[in-house]
Amino acid sequence: MVRKHPKLNYRAKGPETVRSELLDVIDYQYAGKDIEITIEQPEYTSVCPMTGLPDFGKITINYIPDQKLVELKSLKFYLLQYRDVGIFYEHVVNLILNHLVERLHPKELAVSGEFTARGGITTRVKAAYEKQHNH
């Protein structure tokens, strides 16, 4: 769904246009050995769905893999999709989390966003997932 700002000739894409299948996975060759992976994207951009103004921030992904790893070049292209997407901060971290969990099936995964100040307000948002253990 494309959203057009009423006062500007700008059209933002909807979050449903972000494709999780761009995230390529590779086998984790040391399955059974827990490692923590931290990935930072300090140049994240999207747009405000209310105003169309650009949003900037740093996305940090922390995860403990089970069987799969995310291939980093594909992650870059995946995150680039958000550039013209109108999405709130709280929603973007959850959408990224959901897509990564869907593709990786990790033991644990957290996505946080630190968004630059607008109107004197900075925002930090974190969403997390932990695989449920069957007892």
34 is catalytic: no
Candidate list 24, 48, 66, 84, residue with the active-site label: 48
Residue 24 among the catalytic residues: no
Q: Which of 24, 34, 55, 66 is catalytic?
A: 55
- What distance in Å separates the CA atoms of residue 49 and residue 52, rounded to the nearest whole number? 6
Beta bridge partners of 3: 12
**Residues recognised as catalytic:** 48, 55
